[in-house]
Amino acid sequence: RVIGAIYRHGAIILPCGCSSIRFRPPLNITSAEIEEALDIIGRALAEVL
pLDDT at 23: 85
Give residue-wise pLDDT tens across range 4-16. 999 999 999 989 9
Mean pLDDT of the chain: 93
Nearest-CA neighbor of 7 among 46, 44, 45, 38?
Answer: 44
Number of domains in the chain: 1
Dihedral sign, CA of 28, 26, 36, 22?
negative
Give the domain range for residue 25: 2-48
Rounded mean pLDDT, 17-44: 93
Q: Residue 19 has what pLDDT?
A: 87
Burial class (CB in 10 A: 0-12, 13-18, 19+), 44: buried
pLDDT at 18 > cutoff 90: no
Give residue 33's pLDDT band: very low, low, confident or very high (50, 70, 90).
very high
Q: Which amino acid is at 32?
A: A
